[in-house]
Structures are given as C-alpha cells and as structure tokens.
Amino acid sequence: MGDEDKTFVWLKRQVDEPVAQKIHALGIKGIYQRKEYKRKYPEGEAAAHVVGFTNVEDNGQEGIELSFNKELAGKAGSRRVIKDRLGRVVEGVGEQVPPVEGKDIQLSVDSKVQFFAYQKLRDAVTARKAKAGSVVVLDAITGEVLALANYPSYVPDKRQNLTGEQLRNRALTDTFEPGSTMKPITVAMALEAGRVKPQTLVETGPGRFSIGGFTISDTHNYGTLTVEGVIQKSSNVGALKIAQKMSPHEMWDTYTALGYGQKPQIQFPGAVTGRLRPWKNWRPVEQATMAYGYGLSASLFQMAHSYTSFAHDGQIIPVTMLKSSEPAIGVRVFSAENVRRAPDAPDGRGTGRHRPTGADGRLFGRRKVGHCAQAGRQRLCQQ
C-alpha cells in the first residue's frame, strides 16, 4: 500500500504495456491503472556496475544510483489542508512547502571508452575461460574514471534472475596480491631514497635466494642485471635485493602514500581497504615478497590509482566518478626526476596476474569527449 496514498492497494507495478492493455480490456470493476515512469539504462550491461539501478520506488540500490540517491531524488513538497467527510479539500492551512527537484549528476565515464573496455574484457574472459574479470581506465591528468567494468555483468532493466556474482563490482570489492606490477613501485622508492640508480648492478644469480627458511626463485638465472634490467626481466630476486636496501618503515610509508591499506576516497559504495600489515610486524621474508607484490593485497582500482603517481610526475592524484575539467591537485610521493628515471612496467612475463596497460604498453590514460545520455528520473550523464 502506498505510504502517500492509502486509498488503494497495488496489485502489480510497472507491468508491460501489452499486459496492461489486456487487463484494461477485461473491464473489472475496482481495478484501475496508473501510469508511472520507469528508469531506463541506455548503456545496459556495459555500465551496469557504474550506474547501478533503482527499485520500484525509484530509490537507488546499487552504484551511482545509490551513492547519489539523495541528490538525484530531490525532496517532496508538502501542504496542510482541511478536508470534508468525503475527503475533498476545503481549504489550505499554514504555509506550503514546495518540492525540490533532483539534481543532474554528470559522470566522468566516457561512454565510448566504457563500451570498448567492457567489450574487450568480456571477450578476454570468454576466450580464456576465466571466472571473471575487471577493467579500470583513469585520466592521469584530472583523476576522472573514464571506464570501470566487470564481467560477468547484468542488464539493469532486467533483473529477474540476478545473482550475486553478477552484482559484484569486482574492480572495487575484490582484492588480490598484485604480483610484478609492484616492482616498478619498489624501484621508484629505492630511487627516491637514493639507494640505487637505473644502472646500479644487482646480482640475481643463480636465480634463487634463501631467506627466513624460504627460497625465492626467478624463472631463469639472469645473472647480473641493472636496476632497469630487473624490471625488464621481472626478476623476483632482483626486486627483493633492491628492497633490502630500504627499511620496512620506508616501504610502508610509500605504500600507504600510494593508497595501499587505505580505503579509496571515491563516491562509490563497497570500495575495500585491502591488506597492508603494520611495518613493525614484517618479517624479513615478508619485506622481500612485498617487493614483488606478495604479502599485501589490493583491489584493481587501488592498483590503477597508485600508478597515477608515475603518470603525474610523482604525484598521486585524487580520483573521481564525476566530470571534472580541471587538472587534479596531487600529493607528491616521488620526485618528477625519479619518476622519469624509473623503468617501465614488466613486459608481462612476470608474476602478476593483473596488468592494466594502455594500447602503447604504458599504464596511463587520457581524456576523451563524448555525449550525455538521458536516463529517467534525473540524469546520470556520461561523456
């Protein structure tokens, strides 16, 4: 029964038009129809985890619809009246409160980038018979989220058989051990601390290193490598030896500055913190494994965010789901000189299972332009 009108009871809401016409044709006394607006989602499953959806009362349940429900929905007006015994309004009493229209929300998401990111992700998951996958694309200048997609996904308009697996926004809620994608960060912090230079030699032979009763191995015996070579060969032994030149406290400070072990500051529900243990509790083997991305965990979104420090001259920038035309103001983690000296990311033959790279092999996104799609009650706009 509607809270605002208790003179009737809903039998079924938002039925399809053909069904409504058949019921109307029956002419059953006491059954009436009322037209309502129904939320439409033009981008469908490609942007489902970004936009989310509303329930039948138009209240946000997932995604941006939930995060900005208050702004989108507005506020109902009110007035006090006197009615006669038949329920007819006789006169108004007191001051009338006008309704407040909901605001439009313009997202930073580029509809073209979002569509192609989702399409490529879906094809990759299917081709590799993977359980699921995620993709995040950030603008390295403004901090805007240009695309965020997960597979499997769902069609927001058709949620009859929706499962938890489809609903999960894995890019924000699922964590993993990043693997070799952490090696450039290890090198960057060593460069920043002045412990190495790009051409410093690191002995990785015979391709194994024992520490704390554990043996850490490379896929091959790479012998003596430069710091740049450690990244190019994705050497676990080389990365841990570079890490040993720093204290656990130094590494922990850099990790936290890059957002690891911290909840992402983004206007979105469900973002997780990940796992980064206090540096005082690190054993030597844990410091070694963290150098090549094991012993800590992060979401894909946290990984992508941390890499903005490489694309933004050593500054990690705040990320946003909302449209922004101004360059983001970052917090310096590395000097611009050391970022330029840092080698590129591993070539894909390393230990990391998640390597979000652009078309040119680097991990830095750029801004796009597009259009704003109408989406029902108030607008959720995508570029």
The span from the CA of 48 to the CA of 372, in Å, is: 16
Beta carbons of 362 and 309 less than 8 angstroms apart: no
What pLDDT sits at residue 298? Answer: 97
Which residue would you say has higher pLDDT here, 302 or 39? 302
- 376 pLDDT band, cuts 50/70/90, is very low
What pLDDT sits at residue 197? Answer: 93
Q: Looking at residues 195-219, what average pLDDT do you find?
A: 95
pLDDT at residue 35 greater than cutoff 70: yes
- 353 pLDDT band, cuts 50/70/90, is very low
**CATH superfamily membership of 172-341:** DD-peptidase/beta-lactamase superfamily (3.40.710.10)
Query: Exposed/middle/buried for 144, CB within 10 Å: 0-12, 13-18, 19+?
Result: buried
The span from the CA of 203 to the CA of 290, in Å, is: 19
For the record, the structure tokens of 376 come out as 């029902």
Ramachandran bin of 242, using left for φ above 0, alpha for ψ from -120 to 50, beta for the remaining angles: alpha
pLDDT at residue 348 greater than cutoff 50: no
For the record, the structure tokens of 332 come out as 């310096």
Beta carbons of 180 and 351 less than 8 angstroms apart: yes
What pLDDT sits at residue 4? Answer: 54
Which residue would you say has higher pLDDT here, 216 or 13? 216
Secondary structure element (H or E) that encloses residue 299, with its range = strand 298-299
What pLDDT sits at residue 373? Answer: 32
- 189 pLDDT band, cuts 50/70/90, is very high
For the record, the structure tokens of 37 come out as 């607006």
Percent of the chain with pLDDT over 90: 57
Tell whether pTM > 0.85.
no
Percent of the chain with pLDDT over 70: 88
Q: Looking at residues 132-149, what average pLDDT do you find?
A: 95
What pLDDT sits at residue 377? Answer: 41
Backbone angles phi, psi at 305, to 5 degrees: -60, -45
For the record, the structure tokens of 230 come out as 């450690």
For the record, the structure tokens of 11 come out as 């039998």
pLDDT digits (tens, 9 = 90+) for 59-96: 888 899 999 888 888 888 888 888 888 878 888 887 88
Q: Looking at residues 30-35, what average pLDDT do you find?
A: 85
Mean pLDDT of the chain: 85
What pLDDT sits at residue 6? Answer: 66
359 residue type, one letter: A
Taking CA 271 as the corner, what is the angle to CA 270 and CA 274, rounded to the nearest 5 degrees? 125
160 residue type, one letter: Q
pLDDT at residue 184 greater than cutoff 70: yes
pLDDT at residue 344 greater than cutoff 70: no
Asked if the peptide bond before residue 269 counts as cis, ω within 30 degrees of 0, the response is: no
Annotation marks residue 324 as catalytic: no
For the record, the structure tokens of 77 come out as 């007006």
Q: Looking at residues 117-138, what average pLDDT do you find?
A: 96
Q: Residue ranges per domain, the chain?
A: 38-105, 172-341
- Residue indicated by tokens 């980064």: 276
Which residue would you say has higher pLDDT here, 78 or 216? 216
pLDDT at residue 354 greater than cutoff 70: no
The upper half-sphere exposure of residue 346, i.e. CA atoms within 13 Å in the direction of its Cβ, equals: 27
Question: Are domains 38-105 and 172-341 of this chain identical in fold?
Answer: no
pLDDT at residue 235 greater than cutoff 70: yes
Exactly one of 180, 234, 299, 309 is catalytic; name it: 180
Q: What's the distance, Cα to Cα, between the start and end of the chain in Å?
A: 39
- 7 pLDDT band, cuts 50/70/90, is confident
Topology, domain 38-105: Penicillin-binding protein 2a (Domain 2) (3.90.1310)
In this structure, are strands 78-83 and 89-97 parallel, antiparallel, or unpaired?
Answer: antiparallel
pLDDT digits (tens, 9 = 90+) for 263-316: 999 888 889 999 999 999 999 999 999 999 999 999 999 999 999 999 999 999
DSSP 267: S
What pLDDT sits at residue 34? Answer: 84
Q: Looking at residues 13-36, what average pLDDT do you find?
A: 86
Q: Residue 227: helix, strand or coil by DSSP?
A: helix
Q: How many CB atoms lie within 10 A of CB 166?
A: 18
Distances (CA, A) of 144 to 9, 174, 308: 45, 21, 11
